[in-house]
Amino acid sequence: MPGSWTNWAGNQRAAAEPLRPATVDEVVAAVRAAAGAGRPVKAVGSGHSFTPAAVTEGVLLDLSRLATPVRVQRASRLVTVPAGMSLRDLNDLLHRHGLALPNLGDIDAQTIAGAISTGTHGTGARYGCLATSVAGLTLVTAAGEVLTCDAAERPDVFAAARVGLGALGVLTSVTLRCVDAFTLRADERPLPLADVLAGLDEHVAGNDHAEFYWFPYTERVQLKRNNRVPADDRPLSPARRWLDDELLSNTVFGGACRLGRAVPALAPAIHAVSARALSARTYTGRSDRVFCTSRRVRFVEMEYGLPRAALRQAFAGLRRVVEALPFKVLFPVEVRFTAADDIWLSHGYGRDSAYIAIHQYVGAPYEPYFRAFERVAQDLDGRPHWGKLHYRDAASLAPAYPRFADFLAVRDKLDPDRRFANAYTGRVLG
Protein backbone atom coordinates (compact mmCIF):
# COMPACT_ATOMS: atom_id res chain seq x y z
CA MET A 1 0.00 0.00 0.00
CA PRO A 2 1.77 3.25 -1.07
CA GLY A 3 2.33 5.71 1.76
CA SER A 4 1.29 3.23 4.42
CA TRP A 5 3.17 2.32 7.59
CA THR A 6 4.25 -1.20 8.65
CA ASN A 7 5.96 -2.33 11.84
CA TRP A 8 9.30 -4.19 11.96
CA ALA A 9 7.72 -7.65 12.13
CA GLY A 10 5.31 -6.84 9.29
CA ASN A 11 2.25 -7.91 11.31
CA GLN A 12 0.80 -4.41 11.90
CA ARG A 13 -0.16 -1.78 9.35
CA ALA A 14 -1.59 1.72 9.26
CA ALA A 15 -2.99 3.27 6.12
CA ALA A 16 -1.77 6.75 6.92
CA GLU A 17 1.62 8.05 5.93
CA PRO A 18 3.20 9.53 9.08
CA LEU A 19 3.57 13.27 9.52
CA ARG A 20 7.10 14.21 10.54
CA PRO A 21 7.00 17.34 12.72
CA ALA A 22 10.37 19.00 13.25
CA THR A 23 9.42 21.29 16.16
CA VAL A 24 7.24 21.09 19.27
CA ASP A 25 5.06 23.82 17.72
CA GLU A 26 4.45 21.54 14.74
CA VAL A 27 3.48 18.70 17.10
CA VAL A 28 1.05 21.04 18.89
CA ALA A 29 -0.37 22.18 15.55
CA ALA A 30 -0.81 18.56 14.37
CA VAL A 31 -2.62 17.59 17.60
CA ARG A 32 -4.86 20.68 17.43
CA ALA A 33 -5.65 20.11 13.75
CA ALA A 34 -6.55 16.48 14.46
CA ALA A 35 -8.77 17.59 17.35
CA GLY A 36 -10.47 20.12 15.06
CA ALA A 37 -11.13 17.37 12.53
CA GLY A 38 -12.23 14.89 15.21
CA ARG A 39 -9.42 12.49 14.27
CA PRO A 40 -7.31 10.37 16.64
CA VAL A 41 -3.53 10.86 16.87
CA LYS A 42 -0.79 8.32 17.53
CA ALA A 43 2.93 8.89 17.90
CA VAL A 44 5.05 6.15 16.42
CA GLY A 45 8.64 5.28 17.27
CA SER A 46 10.65 2.93 15.10
CA GLY A 47 7.82 0.40 14.79
CA HIS A 48 9.45 -2.32 16.85
CA SER A 49 6.32 -3.27 18.76
CA PHE A 50 4.58 -6.46 17.74
CA THR A 51 1.27 -5.24 19.17
CA PRO A 52 -0.79 -2.60 17.32
CA ALA A 53 0.30 -0.13 20.02
CA ALA A 54 1.26 2.52 17.46
CA VAL A 55 -1.41 1.83 14.84
CA THR A 56 -4.08 4.43 14.11
CA GLU A 57 -6.77 5.17 11.57
CA GLY A 58 -6.12 8.83 12.25
CA VAL A 59 -2.94 10.92 12.25
CA LEU A 60 0.37 9.11 12.71
CA LEU A 61 3.23 11.26 14.08
CA ASP A 62 6.78 10.11 13.45
CA LEU A 63 9.08 12.14 15.69
CA SER A 64 12.41 11.10 14.18
CA ARG A 65 12.91 14.64 12.77
CA LEU A 66 11.84 16.42 15.95
CA ALA A 67 14.84 18.49 17.04
CA THR A 68 14.31 19.61 20.63
CA PRO A 69 17.47 20.86 22.37
CA VAL A 70 19.97 18.29 23.64
CA ARG A 71 21.14 19.14 27.15
CA VAL A 72 23.96 17.27 28.89
CA GLN A 73 24.48 18.07 32.57
CA ARG A 74 27.71 16.20 33.12
CA ALA A 75 27.96 16.69 36.89
CA SER A 76 24.46 15.44 37.66
CA ARG A 77 24.55 12.96 34.75
CA LEU A 78 21.16 14.21 33.57
CA VAL A 79 20.72 14.22 29.81
CA THR A 80 17.72 15.63 27.91
CA VAL A 81 17.10 14.42 24.36
CA PRO A 82 14.37 14.60 21.72
CA ALA A 83 11.83 11.83 22.34
CA GLY A 84 12.17 10.44 18.82
CA MET A 85 15.93 9.88 19.09
CA SER A 86 16.95 6.26 18.48
CA LEU A 87 18.65 4.38 21.29
CA ARG A 88 21.64 3.92 19.00
CA ASP A 89 22.06 7.68 18.53
CA LEU A 90 21.42 8.22 22.24
CA ASN A 91 24.10 5.69 23.20
CA ASP A 92 26.61 7.38 20.88
CA LEU A 93 25.74 10.80 22.28
CA LEU A 94 26.13 9.57 25.86
CA HIS A 95 29.42 7.88 25.04
CA ARG A 96 30.83 11.11 23.63
CA HIS A 97 30.13 12.67 27.04
CA GLY A 98 31.54 9.78 29.05
CA LEU A 99 28.07 8.59 30.02
CA ALA A 100 25.81 5.59 29.42
CA LEU A 101 22.42 4.14 30.30
CA PRO A 102 22.80 1.68 33.18
CA ASN A 103 21.03 -1.11 31.30
CA LEU A 104 19.67 -1.82 27.82
CA GLY A 105 17.66 -4.46 26.00
CA ASP A 106 18.78 -6.67 23.12
CA ILE A 107 18.69 -4.04 20.38
CA ASP A 108 19.17 -0.29 19.98
CA ALA A 109 16.84 0.39 17.04
CA GLN A 110 13.94 1.70 19.12
CA THR A 111 13.33 5.36 19.88
CA ILE A 112 13.69 6.41 23.50
CA ALA A 113 10.00 7.42 23.67
CA GLY A 114 8.80 4.19 22.08
CA ALA A 115 11.05 2.05 24.27
CA ILE A 116 9.96 3.54 27.58
CA SER A 117 6.27 3.73 26.58
CA THR A 118 5.89 -0.07 26.47
CA GLY A 119 8.17 -0.93 29.41
CA THR A 120 11.17 -2.10 27.36
CA HIS A 121 13.75 -3.75 29.59
CA GLY A 122 17.02 -5.61 29.57
CA THR A 123 18.20 -8.04 32.21
CA GLY A 124 19.77 -7.55 35.63
CA ALA A 125 18.36 -8.32 39.05
CA ARG A 126 19.38 -4.91 40.36
CA TYR A 127 18.13 -2.91 37.35
CA GLY A 128 14.62 -1.80 36.44
CA CYS A 129 13.24 -1.31 32.92
CA LEU A 130 14.56 1.57 30.78
CA ALA A 131 11.81 3.88 32.01
CA THR A 132 13.30 3.74 35.52
CA SER A 133 16.17 5.88 34.17
CA VAL A 134 13.75 8.64 33.19
CA ALA A 135 14.06 11.73 35.39
CA GLY A 136 11.63 13.97 33.52
CA LEU A 137 9.37 14.17 30.49
CA THR A 138 7.78 16.77 28.25
CA LEU A 139 4.57 15.88 26.47
CA VAL A 140 1.99 17.55 24.27
CA THR A 141 -1.46 16.82 25.66
CA ALA A 142 -4.75 16.41 23.83
CA ALA A 143 -5.52 20.08 24.51
CA GLY A 144 -2.30 21.04 22.72
CA GLU A 145 -0.67 22.05 25.98
CA VAL A 146 3.07 21.44 26.50
CA LEU A 147 3.37 19.75 29.89
CA THR A 148 6.50 18.91 31.87
CA CYS A 149 6.64 16.39 34.69
CA ASP A 150 9.12 14.79 37.04
CA ALA A 151 9.11 13.26 40.52
CA ALA A 152 8.34 16.65 42.11
CA GLU A 153 6.28 18.38 39.40
CA ARG A 154 3.02 16.54 38.58
CA PRO A 155 4.18 13.29 40.19
CA ASP A 156 0.98 11.49 39.14
CA VAL A 157 1.63 12.28 35.46
CA PHE A 158 5.26 11.22 35.93
CA ALA A 159 4.25 7.89 37.51
CA ALA A 160 1.86 7.23 34.63
CA ALA A 161 3.63 8.65 31.59
CA ARG A 162 6.97 6.89 31.90
CA VAL A 163 5.24 3.71 30.69
CA GLY A 164 2.26 5.42 29.09
CA LEU A 165 1.46 3.29 26.01
CA GLY A 166 1.26 6.51 24.00
CA ALA A 167 -2.14 7.03 25.66
CA LEU A 168 -1.44 10.23 27.59
CA GLY A 169 0.06 12.52 24.96
CA VAL A 170 2.93 12.92 22.54
CA LEU A 171 6.28 12.80 24.33
CA THR A 172 8.57 15.44 22.86
CA SER A 173 11.62 15.21 25.10
CA VAL A 174 12.95 12.85 27.74
CA THR A 175 15.45 13.55 30.53
CA LEU A 176 17.48 10.52 31.54
CA ARG A 177 19.47 9.86 34.68
CA CYS A 178 22.65 8.32 33.28
CA VAL A 179 25.74 6.70 34.77
CA ASP A 180 29.40 7.07 33.94
CA ALA A 181 30.34 5.16 30.80
CA PHE A 182 31.36 1.61 31.65
CA THR A 183 32.88 -1.49 30.16
CA LEU A 184 31.21 -4.88 30.29
CA ARG A 185 32.83 -8.27 30.32
CA ALA A 186 30.55 -10.72 28.52
CA ASP A 187 30.66 -14.39 29.26
CA GLU A 188 28.48 -16.54 27.01
CA ARG A 189 28.48 -20.31 27.18
CA PRO A 190 26.35 -23.33 26.32
CA LEU A 191 25.31 -25.35 29.38
CA PRO A 192 22.83 -28.05 30.36
CA LEU A 193 19.41 -26.57 31.21
CA ALA A 194 19.26 -28.49 34.51
CA ASP A 195 22.58 -26.97 35.68
CA VAL A 196 21.47 -23.44 34.86
CA LEU A 197 18.10 -23.86 36.57
CA ALA A 198 19.78 -25.39 39.63
CA GLY A 199 22.22 -22.46 39.91
CA LEU A 200 19.78 -19.78 38.79
CA ASP A 201 19.54 -17.78 42.02
CA GLU A 202 23.31 -17.55 42.10
CA HIS A 203 23.56 -16.55 38.42
CA VAL A 204 20.92 -13.88 38.86
CA ALA A 205 22.21 -12.44 42.14
CA GLY A 206 25.90 -12.92 41.41
CA ASN A 207 26.08 -11.12 38.07
CA ASP A 208 25.17 -7.60 37.01
CA HIS A 209 23.20 -8.91 34.01
CA ALA A 210 22.31 -12.59 33.59
CA GLU A 211 19.99 -14.24 31.11
CA PHE A 212 19.65 -17.49 29.21
CA TYR A 213 18.25 -18.82 25.96
CA TRP A 214 16.65 -22.25 25.94
CA PHE A 215 16.58 -24.27 22.74
CA PRO A 216 13.16 -26.01 22.63
CA TYR A 217 13.22 -29.83 22.30
CA THR A 218 16.70 -29.90 23.88
CA GLU A 219 18.14 -29.87 27.39
CA ARG A 220 20.60 -27.11 26.43
CA VAL A 221 20.77 -23.39 27.05
CA GLN A 222 23.11 -20.53 26.24
CA LEU A 223 23.87 -18.62 29.44
CA LYS A 224 24.91 -14.97 29.09
CA ARG A 225 26.47 -13.03 31.95
CA ASN A 226 27.61 -9.42 31.64
CA ASN A 227 29.56 -7.74 34.42
CA ARG A 228 31.12 -4.34 34.87
CA VAL A 229 34.94 -4.39 34.68
CA PRO A 230 37.53 -1.60 34.88
CA ALA A 231 39.33 -2.24 31.56
CA ASP A 232 38.37 -3.02 27.98
CA ASP A 233 41.25 -5.47 27.70
CA ARG A 234 39.66 -8.32 25.80
CA PRO A 235 37.77 -6.85 22.84
CA LEU A 236 36.12 -9.14 20.34
CA SER A 237 37.95 -9.15 17.03
CA PRO A 238 35.86 -7.75 14.16
CA ALA A 239 36.12 -11.18 12.47
CA ARG A 240 34.74 -13.03 15.52
CA ARG A 241 31.98 -10.46 15.98
CA TRP A 242 31.00 -10.84 12.34
CA LEU A 243 31.11 -14.63 12.56
CA ASP A 244 29.00 -14.85 15.75
CA ASP A 245 26.68 -11.87 15.53
CA GLU A 246 26.15 -11.53 11.78
CA LEU A 247 26.87 -14.87 10.14
CA LEU A 248 25.72 -17.34 12.83
CA SER A 249 23.07 -15.27 14.63
CA ASN A 250 21.54 -13.76 11.50
CA THR A 251 22.52 -15.38 8.18
CA VAL A 252 22.86 -19.03 9.24
CA PHE A 253 20.09 -18.75 11.84
CA GLY A 254 17.77 -17.18 9.22
CA GLY A 255 18.51 -20.07 6.85
CA ALA A 256 17.83 -22.60 9.63
CA CYS A 257 14.49 -20.90 10.38
CA ARG A 258 13.48 -21.01 6.70
CA LEU A 259 14.38 -24.69 6.61
CA GLY A 260 12.42 -25.38 9.81
CA ARG A 261 9.40 -23.51 8.47
CA ALA A 262 9.50 -25.53 5.23
CA VAL A 263 10.16 -28.87 6.97
CA PRO A 264 8.84 -28.51 10.55
CA ALA A 265 9.89 -32.05 11.51
CA LEU A 266 13.49 -30.83 11.32
CA ALA A 267 12.97 -28.19 14.04
CA PRO A 268 14.17 -30.33 16.99
CA ALA A 269 17.33 -31.31 15.08
CA ILE A 270 17.92 -27.66 14.11
CA HIS A 271 17.65 -26.61 17.75
CA ALA A 272 20.01 -29.40 18.80
CA VAL A 273 22.58 -28.32 16.19
CA SER A 274 22.15 -24.62 17.10
CA ALA A 275 22.65 -25.39 20.79
CA ARG A 276 25.84 -27.32 19.99
CA ALA A 277 27.11 -24.82 17.39
CA LEU A 278 27.23 -21.95 19.87
CA SER A 279 30.63 -21.96 21.48
CA ALA A 280 31.72 -20.23 24.65
CA ARG A 281 33.17 -16.75 24.35
CA THR A 282 34.39 -14.10 26.74
CA TYR A 283 35.08 -10.57 25.68
CA THR A 284 34.95 -6.97 26.87
CA GLY A 285 33.42 -3.92 25.23
CA ARG A 286 31.58 -0.63 25.53
CA SER A 287 28.42 -1.33 27.51
CA ASP A 288 25.84 -0.59 24.80
CA ARG A 289 27.75 -2.64 22.25
CA VAL A 290 27.75 -5.63 24.57
CA PHE A 291 24.08 -5.26 25.51
CA CYS A 292 22.78 -4.72 21.97
CA THR A 293 23.18 -6.76 18.80
CA SER A 294 21.52 -6.60 15.41
CA ARG A 295 18.45 -8.76 14.78
CA ARG A 296 17.78 -9.28 11.09
CA VAL A 297 15.81 -12.53 11.25
CA ARG A 298 12.15 -11.46 11.55
CA PHE A 299 9.94 -13.03 14.17
CA VAL A 300 6.85 -12.43 16.29
CA GLU A 301 7.07 -12.45 20.05
CA MET A 302 5.16 -12.67 23.33
CA GLU A 303 6.87 -11.87 26.63
CA TYR A 304 5.53 -12.26 30.14
CA GLY A 305 6.87 -10.63 33.30
CA LEU A 306 6.34 -12.89 36.32
CA PRO A 307 6.97 -12.67 40.04
CA ARG A 308 10.53 -13.97 40.23
CA ALA A 309 9.55 -16.88 42.47
CA ALA A 310 7.15 -18.16 39.78
CA LEU A 311 9.81 -18.63 37.10
CA ARG A 312 10.43 -22.35 37.57
CA GLN A 313 6.73 -23.15 37.52
CA ALA A 314 6.17 -20.98 34.45
CA PHE A 315 9.11 -22.55 32.68
CA ALA A 316 7.85 -26.08 33.43
CA GLY A 317 4.43 -25.04 32.09
CA LEU A 318 6.05 -23.65 28.96
CA ARG A 319 7.84 -26.95 28.33
CA ARG A 320 4.52 -28.80 28.53
CA VAL A 321 2.98 -26.30 26.09
CA VAL A 322 5.82 -26.74 23.59
CA GLU A 323 5.58 -30.55 23.73
CA ALA A 324 1.80 -30.50 23.18
CA LEU A 325 1.75 -28.15 20.17
CA PRO A 326 0.59 -29.51 16.81
CA PHE A 327 3.47 -27.59 15.14
CA LYS A 328 7.11 -26.91 15.94
CA VAL A 329 8.65 -23.90 17.66
CA LEU A 330 11.50 -22.53 15.55
CA PHE A 331 12.94 -19.89 17.88
CA PRO A 332 14.77 -20.13 21.23
CA VAL A 333 13.11 -18.91 24.43
CA GLU A 334 14.73 -15.98 26.29
CA VAL A 335 14.68 -15.67 30.10
CA ARG A 336 15.60 -12.38 31.82
CA PHE A 337 15.33 -10.61 35.18
CA THR A 338 14.60 -7.08 36.43
CA ALA A 339 14.27 -5.25 39.73
CA ALA A 340 11.00 -3.93 41.14
CA ASP A 341 10.01 -0.34 40.29
CA ASP A 342 7.29 2.20 41.06
CA ILE A 343 5.98 3.02 37.57
CA TRP A 344 2.25 2.33 37.49
CA LEU A 345 2.03 0.31 34.27
CA SER A 346 5.55 -1.11 34.33
CA HIS A 347 5.64 -4.91 34.20
CA GLY A 348 7.99 -4.68 37.15
CA TYR A 349 5.69 -2.51 39.28
CA GLY A 350 6.18 -3.48 42.91
CA ARG A 351 7.97 -6.76 42.34
CA ASP A 352 11.26 -8.31 41.29
CA SER A 353 10.52 -9.99 37.98
CA ALA A 354 11.58 -12.84 35.77
CA TYR A 355 10.64 -12.62 32.10
CA ILE A 356 9.96 -15.42 29.65
CA ALA A 357 9.96 -14.36 26.00
CA ILE A 358 8.68 -16.78 23.38
CA HIS A 359 9.11 -16.23 19.66
CA GLN A 360 8.17 -17.76 16.36
CA TYR A 361 9.72 -17.22 12.93
CA VAL A 362 7.57 -15.01 10.67
CA GLY A 363 5.17 -16.99 8.54
CA ALA A 364 5.14 -20.01 10.88
CA PRO A 365 2.06 -20.70 13.08
CA TYR A 366 2.23 -19.10 16.50
CA GLU A 367 -1.19 -18.24 17.96
CA PRO A 368 -1.95 -21.56 19.72
CA TYR A 369 1.58 -21.45 21.19
CA PHE A 370 1.21 -17.89 22.47
CA ARG A 371 -2.32 -18.45 23.78
CA ALA A 372 -1.37 -21.62 25.62
CA PHE A 373 1.67 -20.00 27.25
CA GLU A 374 -0.43 -16.97 28.13
CA ARG A 375 -2.77 -19.23 30.15
CA VAL A 376 0.24 -20.55 32.09
CA ALA A 377 1.64 -17.07 32.71
CA GLN A 378 -1.68 -15.44 33.58
CA ASP A 379 -2.36 -18.10 36.22
CA LEU A 380 0.97 -17.17 37.81
CA ASP A 381 0.10 -13.47 37.97
CA GLY A 382 2.04 -12.69 34.80
CA ARG A 383 1.96 -9.31 33.09
CA PRO A 384 2.31 -9.20 29.28
CA HIS A 385 4.88 -6.89 27.69
CA TRP A 386 2.87 -3.99 26.22
CA GLY A 387 4.86 -4.05 22.99
CA LYS A 388 4.68 -7.80 22.42
CA LEU A 389 1.77 -9.96 21.32
CA HIS A 390 -0.79 -10.95 23.93
CA TYR A 391 -4.53 -11.48 24.14
CA ARG A 392 -5.43 -9.80 27.44
CA ASP A 393 -8.00 -7.03 27.85
CA ALA A 394 -8.58 -4.27 30.40
CA ALA A 395 -10.79 -6.45 32.59
CA SER A 396 -8.06 -9.06 32.97
CA LEU A 397 -5.19 -6.56 33.23
CA ALA A 398 -6.68 -4.26 35.85
CA PRO A 399 -6.20 -6.73 38.75
CA ALA A 400 -2.59 -7.37 37.62
CA TYR A 401 -1.64 -3.70 38.11
CA PRO A 402 -2.40 -2.23 41.57
CA ARG A 403 -2.32 1.35 40.17
CA PHE A 404 -4.33 0.63 36.99
CA ALA A 405 -7.25 2.84 38.15
CA ASP A 406 -4.83 5.67 38.97
CA PHE A 407 -3.40 5.45 35.46
CA LEU A 408 -6.90 5.68 34.01
CA ALA A 409 -7.63 8.71 36.21
CA VAL A 410 -4.57 10.52 34.80
CA ARG A 411 -5.72 9.60 31.29
CA ASP A 412 -9.20 10.96 32.01
CA LYS A 413 -7.61 14.22 33.08
CA LEU A 414 -5.11 14.54 30.20
CA ASP A 415 -7.15 13.02 27.39
CA PRO A 416 -10.86 13.12 28.21
CA ASP A 417 -11.86 12.78 24.55
CA ARG A 418 -9.45 9.89 23.89
CA ARG A 419 -7.53 11.77 21.19
CA PHE A 420 -4.62 9.31 21.72
CA ALA A 421 -6.72 6.14 21.80
CA ASN A 422 -6.54 3.38 19.24
CA ALA A 423 -7.96 -0.14 19.04
CA TYR A 424 -5.10 -1.43 21.20
CA THR A 425 -5.56 1.07 24.05
CA GLY A 426 -9.31 0.44 23.75
CA ARG A 427 -8.67 -3.24 24.41
CA VAL A 428 -6.00 -3.02 27.13
CA LEU A 429 -7.12 0.15 28.96
CA GLY A 430 -10.83 0.13 28.21
Ligand X SMILES: Cc1cc2nc3c(=O)[nH]c(=O)nc-3n(C[C@H](O)[C@H](O)[C@H](O)COP(=O)(O)OP(=O)(O)OC[C@H]3O[C@@H](n4cnc5c(N)ncnc54)[C@H](O)[C@@H]3O)c2cc1C
Burial, 111: exposed, middle or buried (Cβ in 10 Å; 0-12, 13-18, 19+)? buried
Binding to ligand X by residue 319, rule CB under 6 A?
Answer: no
The minimum distance between CB 415 and ligand X, in angstroms, equals 11
Stretch binding ligand X (CB under 6 A), from 114-122, 237-245, 260-268, 304-312:
114-122
Pairing relationship of beta strands 220-229 and 333-338 according to DSSP bridges? unpaired
Instruction: Spell out, one character per residue from 372 to 401, where the chain touches ligand X: x when CB under 6 A holds, - when not.
Output: -------------x-x--------------
* Residue-by-residue DSSP string for 296-361: -S-EEEEEEEEEGGGHHHHHHHHHHHHHH-SS---S-EEEEEE--B--TT-TTBTS-EEEEEEEEE
User: Of these, 16, 34, 43, 197, which contacts ligand X (CB under 6 A)?
Assistant: 43
d(CA 388, CA 14): 17
Instruction: Spell out, one character per residue from 5 to 24, where the chain touches ligand X: x when CB under 6 A holds, - when not.
Output: ---x----------------
Burial, 319: exposed, middle or buried (Cβ in 10 Å; 0-12, 13-18, 19+)? middle
The minimum distance between CB 301 and ligand X, in angstroms, equals 7
| Residues, the chain | 430
Stretch binding ligand X (CB under 6 A), from 28-36, 39-47, 248-256, 265-273:
39-47
Give the residue with the Cβ less far from ligand X, 58 or 260: 58
With H, G, I as helix, E, B as strand and everything else as coil, classify residue 295: coil
Stretch binding ligand X (CB under 6 A), from 46-54, 192-200, 223-231, 258-266:
46-54
Q: Who's near 237: CB < 8 A, 6+ residues apart?
A: none
Cβ-contact 384, 6 below 8 angstroms: no
Q: Who's near 262: CB < 8 A, 6+ residues apart?
A: none
Site for ligand X, residues 74 to 113, rule: CB under 6 A:
83-84, 105-107, 110-111, 113
Give the residue with the Cβ less far from ligand X, 31 or 54: 54
Give the residue with the Cβ less far from ligand X, 108 or 244: 108
Query: Which ranges of 5-140 would DSSP assign to H, the alpha helix?
Result: 24-36, 87-96, 112-117
The minimum distance between CB 196 and ligand X, in angstroms, equals 19
Binding to ligand X by residue 322, rule CB under 6 A?
Answer: no
In b/e form, how buried is each residue of 228-240, taking b as 16+ CB within 10 angstroms? eeeeeeeebeeee
Instruction: Compute how many residues bind ligand X; rule: CB under 6 A.
Output: 33
Give the residue with the Cβ less far from ligand X, 8 or 327: 8
Stretch binding ligand X (CB under 6 A), from 116-124, 225-233, 277-285, 390-398:
116-124
Stretch binding ligand X (CB under 6 A), from 166-174, 213-221, 225-233, 276-284:
166-174
Helix (H) or strand (E) holding 170: strand 170-177
The neighbour count for residue 63, using CB atoms within 10 Å, is 27
Binding to ligand X by residue 117, rule CB under 6 A?
Answer: yes
For residue 148, the number of C-alpha atoms closer than 13 Å in the C-beta half-sphere is: 10
3-state helix, strand, coil in the chain (%, to 5): 35, 25, 40
User: Of these, 19, 46, 162, 311, which contacts ligand X (CB under 6 A)?
Assistant: 46
User: Of these, 5, 21, 34, 49, which contacts ligand X (CB under 6 A)?
Assistant: 49
User: Of these, 16, 19, 34, 44, which contacts ligand X (CB under 6 A)?
Assistant: 44
Cα-Cα-Cα-Cα dihedral of 159, 227, 291, 288, to 10°? 80
Give the residue with the Cβ less far from ligand X, 54 or 59: 54
Instruction: List the beta bridge partners of residue 189.
Output: 223
The minimum distance between CB 28 and ligand X, in angstroms, equals 13
Site for ligand X, residues 276 to 315, rule: CB under 6 A:
295
The minimum distance between CB 288 and ligand X, in angstroms, equals 13
With H, G, I as helix, E, B as strand and everything else as coil, classify residue 280: coil
Give the residue with the Cβ less far from ligand X, 114 or 216: 114
Site for ligand X, residues 209 to 228, rule: CB under 6 A:
none
Stretch binding ligand X (CB under 6 A), from 117-125, 177-185, 224-232, 397-405:
117-125
- Interface residues with ligand X (CB under 6 A) are 8, 42-49, 53-54, 63, 83-84, 105-107, 110-111, 113-115, 117-118, 120-121, 165-166, 170-171, 295, 385, 387
